[in-house]
């Protein structure tokens, strides 16, 4: 009898898990990165990106990763999320790649007070060419 109750409980638990897995609204919507793959294995990145990005990072504990450049600009280049007009969203928008996940996990980072949260617009993409300086400042921060 105990075995039966136990296996029913297990089955229920399992159903519940797959249900949660199928229910996309329970998970953050994370936009897909550009290109074939990330700078390291996706699963590894999910768990360890914070350590790779630190200013005083020490990669000795991650054998084989010392030659890779973990530039924050690089992350931003590949992980842009565009609005309906095709403009890259900044971190002020909740759909921004980093925020899509951090909001969900209740993580706050201050990185974008200094670093640009979307690729810098190229000169030819600027709406007006005089005022170039001003516009550049406006689009790079936050
Ligand atoms: C060459 C393009 C490229 C660069 C540069 C890049 N990524 Fe990625 N990243 C990808 C791709 C492709 C994937 C796998 C597809 C996906 O799920 O987005 C990915 C996946 C991820 C994931 C897992 C997303 C998820 O769905 O769970 C994280 C986290 C991540 N990258 C963080 C970073 C960080 C942090 C940097 C900068 C150090 C970075 N990436 C640089 C292309 C890139
Ligand atoms: C797949 C989900 C996911 C994505 C996408 C993601 N992060 Fe994270 N990030 C996390 C989680 C979860 C933590 C908290 C981990 C912990 O507390 O151990 C975290 C923590 C961090 C931290 C450390 C914060 C602290 O206070 O210690 C930094 C820095 C960071 N992320 C940067 C980024 C940047 C930059 C991006 C976008 C390029 C990004 N993350 C995208 C899930 C993600
Ligand atoms: C007070 C300003 C400031 C803040 C806040 C800040 N950084 Fe930086 N960061 C800099 C400066 C200045 C450099 C060196 C100049 C450069 O290479 O762009 C730098 C360089 C870097 C680099 C190496 C160069 C590159 O292009 O990626 C990484 C990675 C980086 N920062 C990640 C982060 C992350 C992650 C956070 C948030 C946890 C953060 N920074 C917060 C100012 C800041």
Residue 131 included in any domain:
yes
Ligand nearest to the Cα of 115, by number: 3
Count of domains forming the chain: 1
Residue 17 included in any domain:
no
How many Cα atoms occupy the beta-carbon half-sphere of 58 within 13 Å?
2
Residue 16 included in any domain:
no
50-68, pLDDT tens digit by residue? 999 999 998 988 888 888 8
| Residue nearest atom 25 in ligand 2 by C-alpha distance | 109
The pLDDT value given to residue 22: 46
**Which residues are paired to 88 by β-bridges?**
82
Residue 55 included in any domain:
yes
Ligand 2 pocket, residues with Cβ under 6 angstroms: 30, 46, 49-50, 53, 75, 79, 97-98, 101-102, 105, 107, 109, 111
Residue 105 included in any domain:
yes
Run means of pLDDT, 10 residues per run, the chain, 142 residues = 48 42 68 94 96 92 88 95 94 96 95 93 54 48 50
Count of beta carbons in the 10 Å neighbourhood of residue 111: 14
Residue 14 included in any domain:
no
Domain containing residue 67: 29-140
Pocket test for ligand 3, best of 49, 115, 116, 117 (most atoms within 8 A of CB): 115
DSSP secondary structure string for all residues of 59-108 = GGGSTT-TTS---HHHHHHHT--B-TTSPBP-TTSTTSHHHHHHHHHT--
Element (DSSP H or E) covering residue 12: helix 2-22
CA distances from 8 to 4, 95, 140 (A): 6, 40, 56
Residue 101 included in any domain:
yes
């Amino acid at each position: 009898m105990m075995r039966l109750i136990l296996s029913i409980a297990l089955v229920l638990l399992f159903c519940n898990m797959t249900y949660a897995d199928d229910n996309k609204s329970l998970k953050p919507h994370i936009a897909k990165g550009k290109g074939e793959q990330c700078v390291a294995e996706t699963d590894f990145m999910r768990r360890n990106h914070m350590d790779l990005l630190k200013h005083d990072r020490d990669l000795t504990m991650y054998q084989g990763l010392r030659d890779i450049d973990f530039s924050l600009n690089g992350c931003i280049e590949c992980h842009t999320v565009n609005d309906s007009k095709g403009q890259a969203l900044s971190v002020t928008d909740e759909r921004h790649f980093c925020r899509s996940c951090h909001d969900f996990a209740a993580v706050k980072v201050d990185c974008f007070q200094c670093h640009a949260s979307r690729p810098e617009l190229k000169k030819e993409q600027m709406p007006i060419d005089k005022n170039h300086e001003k516009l550049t400042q406006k689009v790079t921060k936050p």
